[in-house]
Amino acid sequence: MLKIPKGMERIALSFLAIILTYSFVIIGISINSDKNFNAVSDEISKQVDPRHVGIFVQITEIDPLKGEATARILPWPNDEYFGFRYRSGWMPQKDISIHVDSVLGSSPTDNNLYKFERDIPVGGFDVAVDQAPGSSTSNISGYPFDKYKFEVPISATYLNEDNEVKDLNIFPQDYTKEIDTFKVRMNHVLWTDSEKIITVDDKQAVAQLLEEFQQGISSSVFNVQRNDSTKLLTFIILILMLTALASVTTMAFMVSAGRRPPTLSALIWSAALTFSLISLRDLFPGKPPIGIFIDKIIYFPALLITLVCSLWILLIWTRREDYVN
């Protein structure tokens, strides 16, 4: 049996507590999944008219500083009446028009109306979506607890055999992959009420949503926040910053109180720990800009205090009379 040296029990227990806490956190992050995330889409897929065009929406990039997100829109016909699927693209069998409300459109005519001519193979298109206003957490200064909301309203029509404009039955779905430092979740909302998030238990709202899809209109809200791994790594970096701060301040106090000699090694260690704070700041995932909230309450004070302590140790070291290192 492993014997712990006398006087090391507390250190061993502290180390064990840290390991157990970390293990529980990692396990919690790993098994944390939104089981009901696709419940609404699964319920809609059972009730929606098979003759429809799926509209797959993928958030590919998020810029918190601009308050914008880049979304890739891919029409995907579910019935050959509207078109044929390929591996990555599709070919419409009807003249289809899709309007996506966005800040910047990339259609050939530089607007937000995308027209697809029949019998011409095509793919998807990218749009820039503006951040929904009104949220106090929609600011990068709250990193890593900043949250953003992007709404993607879509309407669609097509020309039938008599060249009449008809509403295109659509079904928007999310196929967003993992985005660096972000977790993205899509919610179905009503075109007439974007604040009402549709749940699978609200049968009336689901029926209203299906009716809007048949009318060729839909609205989806993408909620974006930092993923759990980003929050965990940021927390660890902050602990390291506070550890460096505590080490330098303790060293400066012991030297100034005369309990420890002002050696050159103490001076080097204090300077190294001070500069390490700058390197630690660069390790924040997602590269948040300087001036976020945790900078103001932890990084800036820690950097200033360690700098003062290092200069204080330097001043005491220069006044040594024995010059012995």
DSSP letter (8 states) at residue 278: H
DSSP string computed for 166-207: EEPPEEEEE----BTTEEEEEEEE-SS-TT-B--TT-HHHHH
In a domain, 296, yes or no: yes
Whether residue 58 is found in the same domain as residue 196: yes
Whether residue 236 is found in the same domain as residue 150: no
Give the per-residue pLDDT at 57: 95
Task: Tell me the C-alpha distance between 276 and 321, whole Å.
Answer: 30
Tell which residue, 147, 142, 145, 143, has the closest CA to residue 131: 147
In a domain, 153, yes or no: yes
Give the per-residue pLDDT at 3: 62
Return the structure tokens found at 18: 């840290």
Whether residue 220 is found in the same domain as residue 260: no
Return the structure tokens found at 130: 């503006």
Of 195, 226, 257, the last residue of a domain is 226
C-alpha neighbours within 13 Å on the C-beta side of residue 242: 9
Of 194, 226, 258, the last residue of a domain is 226
Whether residue 192 is found in the same domain as residue 244: no
Return the structure tokens found at 172: 């928007």
Give the per-residue pLDDT at 115: 93
Q: What is the pTM of this model?
A: 0.83
In a domain, 80, yes or no: yes
Q: Find tokens 């319920």 and name the residue.
A: 43
In a domain, 23, yes or no: no
Whether residue 217 is found in the same domain as residue 242: no
Beta strands per DSSP E along the chain: 53-63, 68-77, 83-85, 90-92, 96-100, 113-116, 125-130, 147-159, 165-167, 170-174, 182-189, 217-226
Return the structure tokens found at 325: 């290192």
Low-confidence stretches of the chain (pLDDT < 70) are: 1-9, 11-12, 14-15, 22, 25-26, 28-37, 133-137, 321-325
Task: Tell me the C-alpha distance between 143 and 61, whole Å.
Answer: 17
Whether residue 215 is found in the same domain as residue 107: yes
Give the per-residue pLDDT at 281: 95
Total domains present in the chain: 2
Return the structure tokens found at 220: 């989806």
Kindly calculate the radius of gyration of the chain based on its CA atoms and give it in whole angstroms: 29
Give the per-residue pLDDT at 322: 61
Sequence-separated (6 or more) residues with CB below 8 Å from residue 172: 54, 55, 56, 57, 152, 154, 188, 218, 220
Whether residue 188 is found in the same domain as residue 49: yes
Give the per-residue pLDDT at 9: 67
State the residue range of the domain holding 273. 230-318
Return the structure tokens found at 82: 């509207």
Give the per-residue pLDDT at 78: 93
Whether residue 303 is found in the same domain as residue 209: no
| 171, 160 Cβ separation under 8 angstroms | no
Whether residue 244 is found in the same domain as residue 270: yes
Give the per-residue pLDDT at 84: 94
Give the per-residue pLDDT at 245: 95
